[in-house]
């Protein structure tokens, strides 16, 4: 049996390290749940202080997020876990752990330039 505390839902977003300067606690976000037509509102609670690089061998049992940053031919920007609190859920939207969402930082169009919002 698995228990899920329905009062503790949050979004875990994985943002490129090149965008972190715009992601700070308190930044307002819009959350779009796949398959739902109404957005949710939220805010950044915090971001991970460290991640584990799979390309570098470390001791098993590490507690850091394990993010694979490379392919054999190119080095990609690391993805950093960001915890986002859900502030308001419109009536009729069921939150289910594991659903897919898209997160947009409010004002990202201005901060990142046209066509580069998260």
* pLDDT tens-digit readout, 89-103: 888 888 888 899 999
* pLDDT at residue 60 in the model: 63
What is the pLDDT, as a whole number, of residue 56?
56
Tokens of 112: 């990142």
Beta bridge partners of 30: 41, 104
- Phi/psi for 41 (5° steps) reads -110, 150
How far is the C-alpha of 87 from the C-alpha of 93, rounded, in Å? Answer: 13
- pLDDT at residue 118, as a whole number: 47
Q: Where are the beta strands (DSSP E) in the chain?
A: 10-16, 28-33, 40-47, 51-53, 65-67, 79-88, 101-105
pLDDT reported for residue 6: 77
**What is the full per-residue pLDDT of the chain (118 aa) written as tens digits?**
878 787 789 999 888 888 888 889 999 999 999 999 999 999 999 988 777 655 555 556 666 666 665 566 666 778 888 999 999 888 888 888 889 999 999 876 665 554 444 4
């Amino acid at each position: 049996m698995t228990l899920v505390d329905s009062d503790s839902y949050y979004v875990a977003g994985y943002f490129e390290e090149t965008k972190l300067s715009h992601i700070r606690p308190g930044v307002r976000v819009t959350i779009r749940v796949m398959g739902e037509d109404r957005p949710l509102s939220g805010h950044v609670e915090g971001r991970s202080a460290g991640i584990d690089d799979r390309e570098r061998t470390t001791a098993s049992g590490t507690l850091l997020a394990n993010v694979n940053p490379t392919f054999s031919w190119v080095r990609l920007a690391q993805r950093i876990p960001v915890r986002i609190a859900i502030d308001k859920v419109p009536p009729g939207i069921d939150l289910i752990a594991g659903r897919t969402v898209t997160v947009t930082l409010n004002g990202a169009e201005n901060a990142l330039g046209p066509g580069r919002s998260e």
